[in-house]
Amino acid sequence: MNENTNELDVKFDDIDLSYPRLSKGVYELLITSISRVESPDNDYLKIGLQTTADCTDTSGQTHPAGFKTSCVIGLKPFATGTMDDVNKAIAGLVRGCGVTGLSKAEFLANPAVLQGKQSPCRVTIYRKKADDTEQNGFNFFVKK
């Protein structure tokens, strides 16, 4: 925004609603925040993430380490996923961070145990059907 422009004069039609997304690849991601969100309709983990190395977004722009993004992991079965899929996603995150010995109940009671830890993550790109926007998919895993 031009420093001489009054921010109240900005027209919403002129605002670019897109956000940069990570390019497809494998990243080491730092968990900056993690919490469980429960509502009558859903139950999920909300995870704040940062890259630990320079990265490129889908438009080709390079960003320094510390690029912020976020993801959610649903805690209930969904249209194309079973409870086994949910448990694998959570286990990939927990074990990818190097945490062992936790049960699902113990982790969900205190997901902040992962805050400040890093995990390898396979990032994908997909199109959201509802509004045809490009989104990142996140698949945490254990390094072999």
How far is 119 from 137, CA to CA, in rounded Å?
15
For residue 136 the two structure tokens come to 């990142």
What is the CA angle 86-91-93, rounded to 5?
100
Q: What is the pTM of this model?
A: 0.85
**Number of domains within the chain:** 1
Query: Three-state DSSP class for 69?
Result: strand
In a domain, 104, yes or no: yes
- Tokens 């993430």, residue? 49
- Half-sphere exposure in the Cβ direction for 124 (13 Å, CA): 7
Residue 105: domain span: 19-140
pLDDT at 43: 93
For residue 53, the domain's CATH number is 2.40.50
Does residue 49 belong to any structural domain of this protein?
Answer: yes
Instruction: Average pLDDT across each block of 10 residues of the chain; the chain has 144 residues. List them in order.
Output: 70 80 96 95 94 95 95 90 94 97 96 98 88 88 91
